[in-house]
Structure 1
Amino acid sequence: MCKGNSTGSDSVRIRRYKKATVYLVLQCVLLLEAIILLITEHRTKSNKFENSEEDFNKTKMKLLSDIHDMLNKKVKFENEIKEIIPKNLQLTEGNKLLSKHLREMDGWRCYQSTLYYISSEEKNWSESKQDCSKRGANLTIINSNEEQDFFKTHDNVWIGLNNMEGTWKWVDGSPLTLSFWASGEPDGAKECVVTSEWKTLPCSSTFKWTCERKPSIEIKNLSGIDSVKIRRYQAAVMCLVLLCVLLLTAVIALCVHIHTNNTNYTGDSSELLINITNLAEEKDQLLTRNTDLTEKTDQLRTKIVNLTEARDQLVDKNMQLAKEKDGLLSSYRDLIKQRDQLHQEKNELLKSIHGMDGWIYYQSNLYFVSSEKKSWTESRRYCAERGADLIIINNREEHDFVKKISANANVWIGLTDSEVEGRWKWVDGGTLTSGFWDPREPNGHRGENCALTYSPGWADYACSDLFQWICEKSILK
């Protein structure tokens, strides 16, 4: 019996052990699966971080390469800016030279890339040559038909041809090869030459002269290539700015992505973020420098535009001055013609004056001294019938002249106070302001209203008295 009870108890224990063994096996299996899962997840995360780190390093290297390329472009851009600056200085210097050239152009005339000066005064040949030397030029050398035609309107003007050494040479020592002698020239006894048709004259004679010289500067324009380069520089700056913005955006996005997906690697991420921040600061510095360079470029371009406009204004002013000078020369020639015409008319008038019986010319007026005697009114009528009037004495010189031509005789003059007693007026209606009265005159009151001149001075007499008279008329009327 005892044996039988023991057997039943053992069976129960064995079942319990079996259950416990199955449970432990299941636990081990679960733990093993958990360990495998953890190991797998750890390896996955490690590989993922390694891949992320590798991608970041590649990105970092690419960014560094882009920054290096951008620095090279910046250096290239700065070099091109340095090339623009000398051109800007050259343009400024050109404008200064143009202003100086305009100041030197006073009296000069440009023809076929040569400046010519025609003097307004007259000198001998040697003095003319010295004047040209002072102006940085020399007496004109005529080497072509066109140049000879240019001087056709200028007669009797010294040129740089002479025979002082026995042969005809120009002032620069070159021999005469092309000539435009007038008929019967050259005369070997005379050593210097004037235009327009060449004539030989003594070098001591005085004439106008002509100088010639080359312009002191040549105006240069900026080429179209320079303008294209400036536009390219602007486009390059804009592209660099956009590239920097994109790179900065990519770096920030990459930093955020790495920081979000790698929180377990804070130390490495912090170090990478610091590097990215440094790169961003370098980019900002580059952007600032590029912005400064862009502003400088815009300033230089504006200055170039302003200098170009100033140069165009100076060129326009030069052309306007040349036109004004041509107009003045034309007016000068017209005035010379008018002067010659007036001289001719004056000579003809003087000839006609000499033919007028009894009339005397003095200071653009004609005077007639009568030989008979009449009253003041009849004397004035006589003068009026001959387009004249009784004389009006305006100054001491004319008073002395009247005394001279009248031989101090008593002669009526054109002065009366017949309208208002004591208010003496000339026959042209002018009021007497000062006269040459005899100290005792006038003294006739209402009975003596007409004036005459005699040896002591003027005196008033009755207008009905009979005296000689003097008529006066202007030759300009």
Structure 2
Amino acid sequence: MAESDVQYASVVIKSKRSPRAKNVEEVVYDEVNIRNQTAQQTSEKNDSAGPLTDNEAKRRFLCYQKLTCCFGSLCVILVLAIIGVCFYYVSSHKSDEEELKHLKANQTFLLQEIYNLTNINKNLTEQMEPIKKTWNEQNISRAQWSIDEYCRMENNKRTCVSCQKGWLQSQSSCYAVNNVEPQHQKTWEEAREDCRGKSSDLTVVDNEAEKVFVKDTSWVNNRIKGYWIGLRVEEGKWKWIDGSDLTNQDWIQQQSATDGQCVTSLQNQEWRSVRCNERNAWICEKKALSV
């Protein structure tokens, strides 16, 4: 018998059921009903996920397009970075080669200069030999002259003094009083140069006793107005030639410290400030020998 020829008949069986059985039947029906509703909703959702609308398709296309652009941009940046690194490496390598070449050239130049300087030094050494020999001979003669100035032979015995002939001793110093004629008098600078030629310098007074000695030996005569000592004005201050300041201003009262002024000493008078380019006598000082 064919499937289409099958007929179904409804059979109603009446039976007496308890209320409890009826309730069970209703519960089962409700559960079946809920399952049917859930299946229907699922089917509706599946139906809604069917063909996309034009707006949804356009939105998804734009999203894919943006992702593609971003990925392409990242690829371009990566390629540029690789190119930059390669270029830096090549440039750095070339720069190192050029620098090395430059250093080698400098090294060659310096070696040549060292060779030239060595030859020059050799020539100068050869030229200095006779000069050095002459200088040593002169120093020996000068030392012998100095010894003769301080020492003399008496009864085959050498006797030495603290100050050479013509110099006066006071405390630990020797003094040369140059009371020359007016035509031989000197400016302050010239007088100092003369003292230096005698291994001494213009007098520096350290204390009151030395000041009295210098004043007493600044002898007076009609041809001398004063004796230069080693005190002058530097940058508005009275300074000694050893660089120290004049600490006792009473030694030169009411004498303004004006640049270009130097000090003279004269017996029975106070120190005077006069122009350094004037001509006067002078007093030299140097340390006495310990004998």
Asked if Structure 1 and Structure 2 have the same fold, meaning a TM-score greater than 0.5 normalized by the shorter chain, the answer is no
Between structure 1 and structure 2, the one with the greater Rg is 2
- Higher RCO (Cα < 8 Å, 6 or more apart): 2
TM-score between the two structures when normalised by the length of structure 2: 0.39
